[in-house]
């Protein structure tokens, strides 16, 4: 009993929230909604009017015609009235539907815009904390679920008018017949409600089952190679079949529910009409009503059955809308981004030096950088090394202000990062990640990317990144489209294009975060040598490969959130932890000569 009560309360609160959401939507797009509503009211009036006219036609035209004959003018007048009122009704439906659609689609567009604007404003840390699939689902599926409910709302609201007009016209016609009708209508309403309640859990269960079938299909087909190697095809098929069987069960369960209810939506009104006919015949025999009245009442009830289902549809969509909208609310209340300076300071020209003063940074509970201080002179090449998880990549992000440190300051060319105009900073400092995203556009555009670089500058950057050679042999050369639906590039090719992207901006500070890891050793050597020799920037290379360490003027050894040692590579080799790490790198690269007995 308690669970029932709680469940009822929950449902009422969902309904309440749903109504509030719908009202907020209407406030945002009042015009199309109002027009749609007007269309709806017109439709309701015309519907009831059409049944009245049908009744009058029966009484004043059809029956007289068969008895004594009819006035031609009355005949044409009646037919014309019939066709006209239905024409108005049809027009009203067009109006209602079109503008209901407009309200819903406009709301969808504005909500989606709001979501992507939020994404734009939120810092990188937010994007990192959620899987990309979830972010996409918010922008796509949640927005859709949150706004789909709007479409049938005008219709549902006007059904209220329809019922109102119908009841009035019935009572005015014959109260006794009306009373039969007034029993049918609530009955239909209850049926709707009951159906909604019962089908909802079944539909959810079916949705869940589909999700599980999909998950297995994904995993199994992704690992098709391993399945083959292990000869596990049969067990995979039976695993899949089990889930497919569950899905089948759930769907059949839903089908049975539908089978029980949907015919009822025809049967109940029909039984009602039969009752009306019986009662109507009696009233007719006593002369209380005419045949026309009966015709009017019967056609009215026939027209009511379908619209009443609309209310059921809206009720079914409300929970989904509430869920969708509340998930989005989660994003809208996320604390926003980093401060921008009023008047951004400009950097001095030429390569810039970097200075860190007592920088601290944490990911949630975990303190990654702790009282970190060091200097990199302008035009210096520095290698940043340290064990995995030491905070090197975090540092790279802080240096280009993809995030702000919790404590301390970072200075670029002597100016606090927070004081530099963001646009200017983006042009001056570039970071190349280990895995760089390729946009679905041409190679040229992927390199230039709004930097205003000319075609020559793009090619020049590609050459320095040792990418020009392979780009030229691509099907359309620099115009070849890459990215998701374009040509698939190897990891090393992508990294080189990402490097070219950074170089095309002629940055004053260049940070490479393991940016050549997938490139073949020969090519990597060529790139690094050239960068060092030719480039007029301050270079910070985060290195996992010993070759990159050799290239730098100086090495910074980061461990435990601090710089533990700094100096030329040779000098640092006398520092035990550093030496151990380098040996481990060498070993890892496989210079092992210990293979006894081979």
Partner 1 sequence: MMRSMRPASAEDPEVSPGLDGAWNVLRRGLAESPELRSGMLYTIALAVVSTIGSLALPVLIQQVLDRGLGGNQEPRLGFVLWVCALTAVVTGAIYFAGRAAFARLTTSSERALRTLRVRVFAHIHSLSIAEQTEQKRGVYVARVTADVDTLSHFLEWSGVSWITGSVLIVGTFALMAVYSWQLMLIVLVSIAPLALILRLLQVNLLSSYDLVRTRVGQTLSEISESVMGADVVRAYGLDERIDRRLKGAIDRQYRAQMRAMKFQAMVFPSGNFFGAVAMGAVVLVGVLFGPSWGLSSGRLVAFMFLVNLLTFPLAEMAENFDQTQTAIAGWRKVLAVLDIPRGLEEPSPGVILPEGELSIEARGVEFSYTGGPPVLRGIDLDVAAGAHVAIVGETGCGKTTFAKLLSRLADPTSGQILVGGVDLTEVAPEARRRAIRMVPQDGFLFDGTIRANVAYGRSGAGRADLADVEAAFRELGLEDWLEWLPQGIDTRVGQRGEDLSAGEAQMVALARAQIAEPSILILDEATSAVDPETERALSEALRRLSEGRTTVTIAHRLSTAEAADWVFVFDQGRLVEQGRHAELLTLGGRYTDLYQSWLGNTQLHA
Which residues in the 379-438 window bind partner 1 by CB under 8 A? Answer: 387-388, 400, 402, 422-423, 425-427, 430-431, 433, 436-437
544 binds partner 1 (CB under 8 A): yes
Distance CA 431, CA 502 (A): 7
255 binds partner 1 (CB under 8 A): yes
Between residue 226 and residue 245, which ones bind partner 1 under the rule CB under 8 A? 226-233, 235-237, 240-241, 244-245
75 binds partner 1 (CB under 8 A): yes
Distance CA 417, CA 404 (A): 9
Measured from the CB atom, the residue of 167 and 546 that comes closer to partner 1 is 546
Applying CB under 8 A, among 19, 172, 183, 260 the residue interacting with partner 1 is 260
What's the CA angle centered on 597, arms 591 and 598, to 5 degrees?
60
Residue 88: Cβ-neighbour burial (10 angstroms; 0-12, 13-18, 19+): middle
71 binds partner 1 (CB under 8 A): no
584 binds partner 1 (CB under 8 A): yes
Minimum distance, C-beta of residue 206 to partner 1, in the bound complex (Å): 10
142 binds partner 1 (CB under 8 A): no
Minimum distance, C-beta of residue 588 to partner 1, in the bound complex (Å): 4
Applying CB under 8 A, among 14, 525, 563, 565 the residue interacting with partner 1 is 525
109 binds partner 1 (CB under 8 A): yes
Residue 365 CB: number of other CB atoms within 10 A?
5
* H-type alpha helices, 333-406: 392-399
Measured from the CB atom, the residue of 295 and 558 that comes closer to partner 1 is 295
The answer to whether 444 touches 478, Cβ cutoff 8 Å, is: yes
Distance CA 330, CA 324 (A): 10
57 binds partner 1 (CB under 8 A): yes
Measured from the CB atom, the residue of 247 and 415 that comes closer to partner 1 is 247
Task: With residue 486 as reference, give the H or E element that holds it.
Answer: none
9 binds partner 1 (CB under 8 A): no
190 binds partner 1 (CB under 8 A): no
Minimum distance, C-beta of residue 110 to partner 1, in the bound complex (Å): 9
Minimum distance, C-beta of residue 357 to partner 1, in the bound complex (Å): 23
Q: Which two tokens stand for residue 159?
A: 């059904």
Residue 266 CB: number of other CB atoms within 10 A?
11
Q: Which residues of 452-464 are buried (b: 16+ CB within 10 A; e: fewer)?
A: ebeeebbbbbbeb
Applying CB under 8 A, among 313, 363, 575, 585 the residue interacting with partner 1 is 585
Q: Which residues of 386-409 are buried (b: 16+ CB within 10 A; e: fewer)?
A: beeebbbbbbbbbbbbebbbeebe
The dihedral through the CA atoms of 37, 40, 44, 49 has a sign that is positive
Applying CB under 8 A, among 15, 17, 34, 91 the residue interacting with partner 1 is 91
Applying CB under 8 A, among 41, 49, 52, 61 the residue interacting with partner 1 is 61
The answer to whether 146 touches 328, Cβ cutoff 8 Å, is: yes
Measured from the CB atom, the residue of 377 and 546 that comes closer to partner 1 is 546
346 binds partner 1 (CB under 8 A): no
């Amino acid at each position: 009993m308690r669970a029932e009560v709680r469940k009822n309360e929950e449902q009422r609160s969902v309904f309440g929230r749903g109504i509030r959401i719908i009202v907020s939507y209407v406030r945002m797009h009042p015009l199309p909604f109002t027009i749609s509503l007007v269309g709806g009211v017109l439709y309701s009036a015309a519907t009831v009017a059409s049944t009245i006219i049908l009744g009058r036609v029966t009484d004043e035209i059809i029956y007289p015609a068969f008895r004594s004959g009819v006035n031609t003018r009355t005949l044409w007048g009646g037919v014309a009235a019939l066709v006209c009122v239905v024409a108005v009704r049809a027009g009203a439906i067009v109006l209602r539907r079109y503008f209901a659609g407009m309200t819903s689609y406009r709301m969808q567009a504005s909500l989606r815009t709001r979501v992507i604007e939020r994404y734009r404003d939120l810092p990188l840390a937010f994007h990192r904390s959620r899987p990309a699939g979830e972010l996409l689902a918010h922008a796509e599926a949640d927005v859709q679920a949150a706004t789909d409910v709007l479409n049938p709302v005008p219709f549902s609201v006007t059904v209220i008018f329809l019922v109102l007009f119908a009841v009035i016209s019935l009572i005015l016609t014959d109260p006794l017949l009306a009373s039969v009708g007034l029993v049918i209508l609530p009955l239909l309403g209850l049926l709707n409600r009951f159906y909604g309640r019962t089908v909802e859990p079944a539909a959810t269960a079916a949705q869940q089952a589909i999700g599980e079938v999909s998950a297995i299909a994904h995993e199994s087909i992704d690992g098709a190679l391993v399945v083959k190697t292990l000869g596990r095809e049969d067990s995979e098929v039976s695993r899949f079949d089990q889930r497919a069987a569950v899905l089948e069960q759930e769907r059949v369960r839903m089908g049975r529910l539908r089978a029980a209810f949907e015919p009822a939506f025809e049967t109940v009104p029909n039984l009602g009409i039969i009752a009306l006919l019986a009662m109507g015949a009696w009233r007719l025999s006593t002369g209380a009503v005419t045949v026309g009245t009966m015709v009017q009442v019967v056609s009215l009830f026939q027209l009511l059955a379908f619209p009443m289902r609309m209310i059921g549809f809206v009720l079914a969509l409300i929970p989904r809308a509430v869920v969708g909208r509340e998930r989005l609310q989660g994003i809208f209340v996320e604390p926003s981004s980093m401060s921008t300076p009023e008047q951004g300071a400009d950097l001095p020209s030429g390569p810039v030096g970097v200075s860190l003063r007592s920088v601290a940074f944490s990911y949630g509970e975990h303190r990654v950088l702790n009282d970190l201080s060091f200097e990199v002179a302008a035009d210096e090449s520095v290698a940043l090394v340290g064990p995995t998880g030491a905070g090197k990549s975090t540092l790279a992000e802080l240096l280009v202000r993809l995030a702000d440190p919790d404590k301390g300051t970072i200075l670029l060319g002597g100016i606090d990062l927070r004081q530099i105009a963001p646009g200017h900073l983006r042009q001056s400092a570039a970071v190349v990640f280990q895995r760089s995203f390729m946009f679905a556009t041409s190679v040229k555009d992927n390199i230039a990317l709004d930097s205003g670089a000319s075609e020559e500058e793009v090619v020049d950057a590609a050459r320095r990144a040792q990418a020009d050679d392979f780009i030229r042999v691509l099907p359309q050369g620099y115009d070849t489209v890459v990215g998701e639906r374009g040509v698939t590039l190897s990891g090393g090719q992508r990294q080189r294009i990402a490097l070219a992207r950074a170089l095309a901006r002629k940055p004053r500070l260049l940070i490479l975060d393991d940016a050549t890891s997938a490139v073949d050793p020969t090519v990597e050597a060529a790139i690094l040598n050239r960068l060092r020799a030719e480039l007029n920037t301050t270079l910070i290379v985060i290195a996992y490969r010993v070759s990159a360490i050799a290239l730098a003027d100086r090495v910074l050894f980061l461990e435990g959130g601090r710089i533990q040692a700094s100096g030329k590579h040779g000098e640092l080799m006398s520092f035990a932890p550093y030496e151990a790490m380098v040996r481990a790198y060498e070993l890892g690269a496989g210079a092992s000569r210990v293979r006894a007995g081979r």
